[in-house]
A and B are shown apart, each in its own frame.
Chain A
Amino acid sequence: MNNLLALPVVLPLLGSLLALVWPRRADWAGLGASVAAFVAAGHIGAEVMRNATLELAVGGWAPGLGIALRADGLSASLLLMSTLVALAAGLYATTYFAEAQKRADFWPLWLLMITALHALLLSGDLFNIYVTLELLGLAAVALAALGGSRAALQAAVRYLTVGLLGSLAFLTGVGLIYAGYGTLDMVMLAGRVDAEPATWVALALMTAGLLIKSALFPMHFWLPSAHANAPAPVSAALSALVVKAAFYLVLRLWLDVFDVALSQASAGLLGLLGASAVIWGSWQAYRAERLKLLAAYSTVAQIGYLFLFIPVLLATEPGEARDLLFGALVLFALTHGFSKSAFFLGAGVILHRAGHDRIAELGGTSRALPVTTFVLALAGIALIGLPPSGTFLAKWQLMTSAIAAGQWLWIPVIAIGTLLAGAYVFRVLGHAFGPGEGVGPSLAWARAELPALLLALVATAVLGLGAAQVWTMVVPGSNAEGVSL
């Protein structure tokens, strides 16, 4: 059990190396590693449900001198989602990339990205997080550039440049923290941190860097083209997992480590940016002409919702109400992860069949690709927030808590965002169910469409009906409410 926490990092890394030295067996290495990682994540989840927090001091050195890996309810649930989405998207990728050479290029990079993601979720050391952020960024950029088109390359370059600036801002914050407190371990830091000016500046720098990486308005400009032009499985991972990782870090830093240095005003600022993201992202998604662009802008909006949770969380007194809201936050993040990846994979299938993903010309898709259309519909339900999806429960909880905490401003924002989401989802479905030639030959590839279907079902049915499980994992003993309990 002690070394269990190392597995989600080691297994994808091994898979990546195997795919590198045996390009012909890349598919097997990749899928094998993904399944193994999922099993490990399952074990960790089960352990966390029993013991609340797991820790591994890598190298046997005490945290501070060495690096500690930690898992609690929040990171374990995100880890589980990450392995599932990666498995499904990887499975889809074996059909998406027709040439073996492309697959041989794809798998090592994809598994390195997964390694980075898992390492980030489990890391308990600030500089280690910086390294995982860089690995995540470079791998993601390289994968996004696999699209090959000029637009994809330009988007990848911008993603890289902006991402590097974000990482450097984060690193500067880490330096200031080390200078002031002499430790890089997050639990030790939580015990030492004080409301000093150096702390505020450090937190501001780190948050700024992470906001860039999570594409929160107004730092979102790099996301739409990067996600829209990347290969479909890559877009799924970028939207569902990579930006989520940066948000997870903001949550960790704000709620666990630096909670003494925060003020309602700073949380309110994050909320305002989130609100702008919801409105702007949803509006742009409504106006989008391409399916993948719509999905990318929808991600911008959904990230905004996640940031809306933060001021409400901080305004709620620690206790049952806050636990409830925190569980809702995790549920929202998980549901979005599954639904957005399902949406992108579905869009990928359509793109493959029709050669384009223009929404206006989707007529007949429902006849040609019934499964994929169903996937888009299910994912759409989860994106809007209709029952029984997890998003519905989460948004409902957010609105109730906002009213209880007196933060009325967010209610109309959520309402408008949901309405716009309804508009853009039904626009897509309207075209898909409309008359038309269809999107190509009507053979359905099981391997291509099944992963997306499973993801969408998880988003809308499993997470909605089984939501109670999320609260069980996340809430009891979860150290999200402050380590200094």
Chain B
Amino acid sequence: MNALLWMLLDLLLAAMLLGLGWAAVATRDLKRGVALFIAFGLLLALAWARLRAPDLALAEAAIGAGIAGALLLAALRSEPQGGQPAAVPSRVFLLTLNLFSVLLAVTVAWALLSALAMGDSVRLAQPVTEHLSQSGVSNPVTAVLLNFRAYDTLLELAVILSAVLGVLALGPARPGYRLPGPVLYGLIRWLVPLLIVTGGYLLWVGAHAPGGAFQAGATLAAAAVLLRLGGVDGAGLPAAVVSRWLLAAGLLAFLAVGLLVTAFGYGFVQYPPDLAAGLILVIESAATLSIAVALALAYIGGWPSRRAQSGSLHTHTTEGGTH
């Protein structure tokens, strides 16, 4: 009975995911598409929670729905109203595309089902569990990310950096927002410190519970987004010189640790077992800052202007709000 209920829940969730995903990409009204996409992201976070992937649920909510949603909404600001006049595809093209899509779906589904049936279902979970105690953390996902497959995470930090540098090289930041009214001001005053504390908590707790540098960094970036929405054009970021160092901090910490250990006879990024926990925390802390600054800059769309950086929430509202 229990299993049947779960299956019904799963079917419902799956159907909603497909429905929302379809609606988000098939609509011509971009505003509606973005809103549906954000809802899709949150539903996806629910699916991760259902599938016993709490780290992913946190990350999807914070990054996939949260930051991505903020980026998309900001992009909508300058979209021409009324959507684009859609170029009507020819019937032949549409037919071929639909046929191809159905064929692709069936083929990949069949391959997935047969792959799932092949071999044992444990896969790499076995060696991870065996070596977890040597990794310095007890959250297996953190162990994989920051120890067993740390090299992937190193490159991933480089991916974030390359995207942000690309954004920064394209031109000046987006125009800022006007001064907040009393409700937004009050909300920001409470939320921003709360988000910062939550970010710190997520970073700390990632070693033994769901959490980690990416979720923490995204939470801090969310605080920056809020500040920017509240009219603080600098979004709480320090001056460009310091921000550059913060952007580089995660990778520098990673490389410093990874190379320093080689001086003591270990391999590249091979943590000495008793120091592993501490080293991982150091790397994660630096990475959190880098990710936060990177996502914040990506949201702003460029370096905040010098003048804007001296602004603060207080000076703005004493001028404009009725609070």
| A–B contact, 8 Å CB criterion (strictly below) | yes
A→B interface (CB under 8 Å): 2-3, 6, 10, 13-14, 16-17, 20-21, 23, 56-62, 64-67, 105, 108-109, 112-113, 115-116, 119, 127-128, 131-132, 134-135, 138-139, 141-142, 145-146, 172, 176-184, 196-198, 200-202, 205
Partner of B131, one of A61, A108, A119: A61
- Which residues of chain B are near A3, meaning CB under 8 Å? 262, 267-268
**Interface-located stretch among B74-82, B88-96, B157-165, B225-233:** B157-165
Q: Which of B127-153 contact A (CB under 8 A)?
A: 127-128, 131, 147-152
A3 vs B248: C-alpha distance in the bound complex, in angstroms? 23
B8 lies within 8 A of chain A by Cβ? no
A132 vs B262: C-alpha distance in the bound complex, in angstroms? 23
Q: B124 near A138 (CB under 8 angstroms)?
A: no
B270 lies within 8 A of chain A by Cβ? yes
A62 vs B152: C-alpha distance in the bound complex, in angstroms? 15
Instruction: List 4 additional contacts besides A6-B258, A58-B269, A182-B120; criterion CB under 8 Å.
Output: A116-B158, A119-B155, A131-B159, A198-B115
Residue among B110, B119, B148, B258 with most chain A CB within 10 A: B148
Q: B267 near A64 (CB under 8 angstroms)?
A: no
Closest to B169 in A: A105
A131 vs B159: C-alpha distance in the bound complex, in angstroms? 8
Closest to B273 in A: A60
- Which residues of chain A are near B271, meaning CB under 8 Å? 59
Q: A109 near B112 (CB under 8 angstroms)?
A: no
6 closest A-B pairs by beta carbon, nearest first, are A142-B166, A201-B111, A182-B123, A60-B270, A179-B115, A180-B115
A67 vs B144: C-alpha distance in the bound complex, in angstroms? 11
Q: A17 near B252 (CB under 8 angstroms)?
A: yes
B26 lies within 8 A of chain A by Cβ? no
A21 vs B243: C-alpha distance in the bound complex, in angstroms? 9
B245 lies within 8 A of chain A by Cβ? yes
User: Nearest chain B CB to A210's CB is how many angstroms away?
Assistant: 17
- Which residues of chain A are near B114, meaning CB under 8 Å? 180, 196-198
The 22 listed contacts between A and B (C-beta, < 8 Å) are A3-B267, A10-B255, A10-B268, A13-B158, A16-B158, A17-B251, A20-B248, A59-B269, A61-B131, A64-B127, A65-B127, A65-B148, A108-B161, A112-B162, A116-B158, A128-B151, A131-B155, A142-B169, A172-B108, A177-B115, A198-B112, A200-B111
Partner of B159, one of A21, A66, A109, A134: A134
Please tell me the number of chain B residues within 8 Å of chain A, measured between CB atoms.
51
B168 lies within 8 A of chain A by Cβ? yes
A181 vs B111: C-alpha distance in the bound complex, in angstroms? 13
A131 vs B151: C-alpha distance in the bound complex, in angstroms? 10
| A2-B267, A179-B118 known; A135+B165 contact, CB < 8 A | no
Q: A58 near B115 (CB under 8 angstroms)?
A: no
Q: Is the interface of A mostly helix, strand, loop or mixed?
A: helix
| A17-B248, A21-B245, A56-B268 known; A131+B161 contact, CB < 8 A | no
B156 lies within 8 A of chain A by Cβ? yes
Q: B244 near A20 (CB under 8 angstroms)?
A: yes
Q: A58 near B151 (CB under 8 angstroms)?
A: yes
- Which residues of chain B are near A181, meaning CB under 8 Å? 118-119
A181 vs B114: C-alpha distance in the bound complex, in angstroms? 11
Q: B267 near A182 (CB under 8 angstroms)?
A: no
User: Nearest chain B CB to A43's CB is how many angstroms away?
Assistant: 15
A445 vs B68: C-alpha distance in the bound complex, in angstroms? 46
| A2-B267, A59-B269 known; A66+B149 contact, CB < 8 A | yes
Residue among B120, B245, B255 with most chain A CB within 10 A: B255
B266 lies within 8 A of chain A by Cβ? yes
- Which residues of chain B are near A20, meaning CB under 8 Å? 161, 165, 244, 247-248
